[in-house]
Amino acid sequence: MRAANPALVRRATALIAVALAVAGAPSLAPAEPDCTPRLLVLSAFPGEIDMLLGAASVERVEAVDGSSGAGTFYVGTLEDNDVVLALTGIGLVNADRTTRLALEHFSCADATTIQGIVFSGVSGGPNIGDVMVPEGWTLDGVHHFAVDPAMYATAEAVASSGSVLLASDVPAGDPACVGADPRAVTTVTVTEEPRIRMGAHGASSDGFEGRTLPCFPGGGDVFGCHPCRVPLTTGAPEARRTVEHAVPFVDPNFFFNYFGASAPPPGDYVALDMETAAVAKVAEEKGVPFIAFRAASDGGGDPLGLPGFPFQFFYYRQLAADNAATVALAFLAAWAA
Q: Are strands 72-78 and 81-87 parallel, antiparallel or unpaired?
A: antiparallel
pLDDT of the residue at 128: 98
Does 60 reside within a domain?
yes
Q: For 299, phi and psi rounded to 5 degrees?
A: 160, -155
pLDDT of the residue at 32: 66
Alpha carbon distance 53, 247 (integer Å): 25
pLDDT of the residue at 118: 98
Residues (pLDDT < 50) of the chain are 1-27, 66-69, 231-249, 254, 257
pLDDT of the residue at 214: 82
Residue 44: give its domain's CATH number. 3.40.50.1580
Alpha carbon distance 234, 247 (integer Å): 22
pLDDT of the residue at 252: 54
Does 21 reside within a domain?
no
- What's the alpha-carbon Rg for the chain, to the nearest Å? 18
Does 16 reside within a domain?
no
pLDDT of the residue at 8: 37
pLDDT of the residue at 218: 82
Does 190 reside within a domain?
yes
Confirm if 54 and 13 have CB atoms less than 8 A apart. no
Residue environment code for 60-92, b if the CB has 16+ CB neighbours within 10 A, otherwise e: bbbebeeebbbbbbbbbbbbebbbbbbbbbbbb
* Entry pTM: 0.84
Residue 108: HSE in the Cβ half-sphere, 13 Å Cα cutoff? 11
pLDDT of the residue at 13: 42
Domain count, the chain: 1
pLDDT of the residue at 18: 45
Alpha carbon distance 263, 283 (integer Å): 24
Does 261 reside within a domain?
yes
Confirm if 137 and 280 have CB atoms less than 8 A apart. yes
For residue 312, give its domain range: 36-336
Does 292 reside within a domain?
yes
Q: Per residue in 3-56, pLDDT tens?
A: 444 443 344 444 444 444 444 443 455 556 789 999 999 999 999 999 999 999
Does 284 reside within a domain?
yes
Alpha carbon distance 107, 97 (integer Å): 16
- According to DSSP, residue 148 is labeled P
Q: Per residue in 326-337, pLDDT tens?
A: 999 999 999 999
From the list 96, 9, 105, the residue with the least C-alpha distance to 61 is 105
266 in the Ramachandran plot: left (φ > 0), alpha (ψ -120 to 50) or beta? beta
Element of type H or E holding 7: helix 6-22
Q: Classify residue 45 as exposed, middle or buried by CB count within 10 Å of its CB (0-12, 13-18, 19+).
A: buried
Residues 6+ apart with CB under 8 A from 158: 164, 327, 330, 331, 334
Angle at 332 between CA 4 and CA 278, to 5 degrees: 130
Does 318 reside within a domain?
yes
